[in-house]
């Protein structure tokens, strides 16, 4: 009896083993070897800035699905050239874009409404009655963006606001996706003058919440022409048109929210 059972179990094991081996052979998915080669060409940052889970997934998307070859911002022009050469296509790199936090209201200029004692995370803080800051649009300063940044390009200053060091930014956009206030934008690297405010509230409301907010007076449009445009009560830079007289525009802004960002020592 014992012998018969052992033989039966052994036989079943043998059959299953053969079935599995055949399945492995016939059902195996053979990956195009170019995926691995192209992965080697990509920077290996695995930052997800291209919109895929990592460099390997992006390589696969290019080879298998014909994804655009221009999506790897951290790789810059050199990597783009290499990808294009590998794929036998032509592609031209646009100007590199870097992140910028469009808020200048630090703790000295934009007060808090209440003491927030929860976990030090911007999404958590934002979930508590829209955040502790009087301005509903201002940077909360709990550093979710800084923690998301793979290259430590974002600093939370001693006065409680996030500042990007553009020299360090690789353009992966992780911070943009992380910020619950939607105040981080990608801007052309060559541009240094920005409207450091994201509040679309009317002037009187802005004034009550922040000393350096945009009050929607349109003076920047008057003196800066098409290099600025209004989004409701909020002035925004039109980066396609250079500012002819930056000093005048900065000087005329009564909200003091148009600022030329100096190059930091971080780079």
DSSP, collapsed to helix, strand or coil, labels residue 205 as helix
Task: State the minimum distance, in angstroms, from the CB of residue 84 to ligand SF4.
Answer: 23
User: Cβ(52)–Cβ(58) under 8 Å?
Assistant: yes
Counting Cα atoms < 13 Å in the Cβ hemisphere of 196 gives 27
> How many other CB atoms are there within 10 angstroms of residue 129's CB atom?
10
Using the rule CB under 6 A, give the single segment among 81-89, 140-148, 199-207, 246-254 that binds ligand SF4. Answer: 140-148
Give yes or no for residue 110 binding ligand SF4 (CB under 6 A).
no
Strand intervals (E) in 65-205:
97-101, 154-156, 162-164, 184-188, 193-195
Task: State the minimum distance, in angstroms, from the CB of residue 81 to ligand SF4.
Answer: 21
Of 50, 83, 184, 210, the one binding ligand SF4 by CB under 6 A = 184
What b/e readout covers 179-204, taking b as 16+ CB neighbours within 10 angstroms? bbbebbbbbeeebebbbbbbbebebe
Give yes or no for residue 55 binding ligand SF4 (CB under 6 A).
no
Of 72, 83, 145, 250, the one binding ligand SF4 by CB under 6 A = 145
Give yes or no for residue 181 binding ligand SF4 (CB under 6 A).
yes
Of 39, 178, 193, 199, the one binding ligand SF4 by CB under 6 A = 178
d(CA 155, CA 28): 47
Of 144, 191, 199, 227, the one binding ligand SF4 by CB under 6 A = 144
- State the DSSP string of 150-217: TT--EEE-TTS-EEE-TTT-----HHHHH-TT--EEEEETT--EEE-----S-HHHHHHH-TT-----
Give the chain's length.
267
Task: State the minimum distance, in angstroms, from the CB of residue 232 to ligand SF4.
Answer: 21
User: Cβ(199)–Cβ(137) under 8 Å?
Assistant: yes
Of 109, 174, 236, 237, the one binding ligand SF4 by CB under 6 A = 174
Give yes or no for residue 124 binding ligand SF4 (CB under 6 A).
no
Nearest partner of 154 among 241, 18, 77, 144, judged by Cα:
144
Of 173, 194, 236, 237, the one binding ligand SF4 by CB under 6 A = 173
Using the rule CB under 6 A, give the single segment among 5-13, 147-155, 248-256, 257-265 that binds ligand SF4. Answer: 147-155
Would you say 60 or 126 has its CB closer to ligand SF4?
126
Task: State the minimum distance, in angstroms, from the CB of residue 245 to ligand SF4.
Answer: 30
Would you say 22 or 128 has its CB closer to ligand SF4?
128
Of 35, 110, 153, 206, the one binding ligand SF4 by CB under 6 A = 153
Give yes or no for residue 148 binding ligand SF4 (CB under 6 A).
yes
User: Cβ(205)–Cβ(129) under 8 Å?
Assistant: no
Give yes or no for residue 236 binding ligand SF4 (CB under 6 A).
no
Give the residues across from 188 on adjacent strands. Answer: 97
Nearest partner of 259 among 163, 177, 172, judged by Cα:
163
Where on the chain is the footprint of ligand SF4 (CB under 6 A)?
A: 99, 101, 122, 139-145, 148-149, 151, 153-154, 162, 164, 169-175, 178-179, 181, 183-184
């Amino acid at each position: 009896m014992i012998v018969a059972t052992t033989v039966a179990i052994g036989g079943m094991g043998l059959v299953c083993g053969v079935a599995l081996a055949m399945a492995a052979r016939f059902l195996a998915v053979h990956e195009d070897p170019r995926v691995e080669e192209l992965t080697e060409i990509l920077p290996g940052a695995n930052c997800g800035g291209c919109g895929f889970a990592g460099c390997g997934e992006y390589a696969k998307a290019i080879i298998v699905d014909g994804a655009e070859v221009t999506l790897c911002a951290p790789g810059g022009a050199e990597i783009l050239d290499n990808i294009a050469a590998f794929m036998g296509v032509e592609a031209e790199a646009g100007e590199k874009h870097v992140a910028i936090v469009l808020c200048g209201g630090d703790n000295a200029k934009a007060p808090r409404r209440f003491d927030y004692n929860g976990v030090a995370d911007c999404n958590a803080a934002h979930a508590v009655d829209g955040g502790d800051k009087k301005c509903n649009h201002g940077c909360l300063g709990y550093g979710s963006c800084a923690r998301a940044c793979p290259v430590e390009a974002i600093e939370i200053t001693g006065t409680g606001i996030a500042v990007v060091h553009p020299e360090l930014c690789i353009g992966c956009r992780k911070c943009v996706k992380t910020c619950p206030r939607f105040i981080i934008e990608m801007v052309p690297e060559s541009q240094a003058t920005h409207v450091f405010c994201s509040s679309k509230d009317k002037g009187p409301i802005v004034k009550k919440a922040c000393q350096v907010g945009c009050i929607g007076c349109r003076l920047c449009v008057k003196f800066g022409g098409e290099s600025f445009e209004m989004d409701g009560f909020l002035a925004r830079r039109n980066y396609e048109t250079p500012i002819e007289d930056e000093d005048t525009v900065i000087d005329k802004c009564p909200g003091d929210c148009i600022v030329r960002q100096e190059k930091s020592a971080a780079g």
